[in-house]
Amino acid sequence: MDSVEDELEMATVRHRPEALELLEAQSKFTKKELQILYRGFKNECPSGVVNEETFKEIYSQFFPQGDSTTYAHFLFNAFDTDHNGAVSFEDFIKGLSILLRGTVQEKLNWAFNLYDINKDGYITKEEMLDIMKAIYDMMGKCTYPVLKEDAPRQHVETFFQKMDKNKDGVVTIDEFIESCQKDENIMRSMQLFENVI
């Protein structure tokens, strides 16, 4: 049994240097950081890919005080860029690189993609509300003990009015980026969103 494990390990290691160099070029991580991240990733996901269930399990450990299932679902879809139902190490690193070290523009593009649940290039009020509710659920009652049931909806109403410049009922990526960059409150909420990751 040991030799099979060793062979598998060797095979992975053999593939790794090339892939890591490529990832180093595509991300904002150093080779050393990528090696550490890879070890952690392989530890949690020996198969080398994460399916949605595993992703939700891992994520729930970070937010024991709330229910992170729905948010993890949306987040999974944002990481799963080729929409094949699995997040590979590459997918994970590309997303993480933007979230941790990306420019404001890159982060906002990523956030737009997260909020655009059906990936049609627009954010509707419903989509924004779904994400907000998911964040509130995940943060749990102890983080926001005074929140009323309709708090996410009020939040979304305010945001949406500011963002939907031409009042056509949807927010485009340009409207989204422009609003976020102009409005410090929105940016602050995005910070909150960053801490959620």
The answer to whether the CB of 53 falls within 8 A of the CB of 69 is no
Task: State pLDDT tens for residues 39-57.
Answer: 888 888 888 889 999 999 9
Smallest CA-to-CA distance from 70 within 62, 79, 59, 82 is with 59
**Share above pLDDT 90 across residues of the chain, in percent, rounded to a whole number:** 38
Predicted local distance difference test score (pLDDT) of residue 146:
59
Predicted local distance difference test score (pLDDT) of residue 14:
43
In this structure, what token pair is assigned to residue 111? 């956030």
Smallest CA-to-CA distance from 162 within 141, 189, 135, 180 is with 180
Task: State pLDDT tens for residues 126-158.
Answer: 999 999 889 888 877 666 555 566 778 888 898
The answer to whether the CB of 170 falls within 8 A of the CB of 122 is yes
In this structure, what token pair is assigned to residue 166? 């031409």
Radius of gyration of the chain, Cα coordinates, nearest whole angstrom: 19
Position 197 pLDDT exceeds 90: no
Helix (H, G, I), strand (E, B) or coil at 87: strand
